[in-house]
Chains A and B, each alone.
Chain A
């Protein structure tokens, strides 16, 4: 597509439920990143995918968080047993190569009530 597409744009969920956030990167972009921006906080790295390499999961805050990238394209970030502190904007970005510029999606605003 023309840009990085994220869905849903907004998600309200009850504490304890699982959620899935989707990112559709720019076609042909091999690098895909997930970031999180909590209210009043800066952006923090969650996970990075590059081609067929093993993902860098060093930013995932707990084992309730997982992500996969199928076929080197669409990525899904899953949060299990959501907690209120998971409330944030989850941003996806892609790049044509690791040293290249980034294109960000519009984000998914997750609210855990």
Chain B
């Protein structure tokens, strides 16, 4: 079992829909990252969370440390949001590295 699990693996929605991507992890962490990877491979860091909730434009990220769970929400989704969204955690004890989920491929149709 992976230390970081994302769901769903693939998500297709219509423009304007509210999107939720989930991330569960099984280890103690110091921080959780949400990353966006567009076709072509470039990765953009969206959020880094250690507690609570963060918002940036139409994107909202939440984390529940007790439940070891985080969600990424996209409001008023748009075709340009189509990308792979990756959850990654920095493990509390151990090497200074990120452990990644497998990613969620999001497609927003016009």
Contact = CB atoms under 8 A, between A and B. Distances in A.
A106 B102 contact: no
Interface string A42-75: 1111001010000010110000000000000000
Interface stretch (A15-23, A77-85, A95-103): A95-103
A44 B96 contact: no
Interface residues of A, number: 26
A91 B44 CA distance: 12
B97 A45 contact: yes
Q: Size class of B's contact patch?
A: 20 to 34
A26 interface: no
Q: From DSSP, what is the main secondary structure of chain B's interface residues?
A: strand
Nearest to A93: B43
Contact of A107 (B35, B41, B88): B41
B87 to A, nearest CB: 10
Contacts, number: 58
B44 A104 contact: yes
A104 B97 contact: no
Interface string A34-48: 010100001111001
A7 B97 CA distance: 22
Contact of A48 (B31, B35, B97, B103): B97
Contact of A89 (B30, B41, B98, B101): B41
Contacts of B45: 101-104
B96 A56 contact: yes
Interface of B: 30-31, 33, 35, 40-45, 48, 86, 88, 90, 95-103
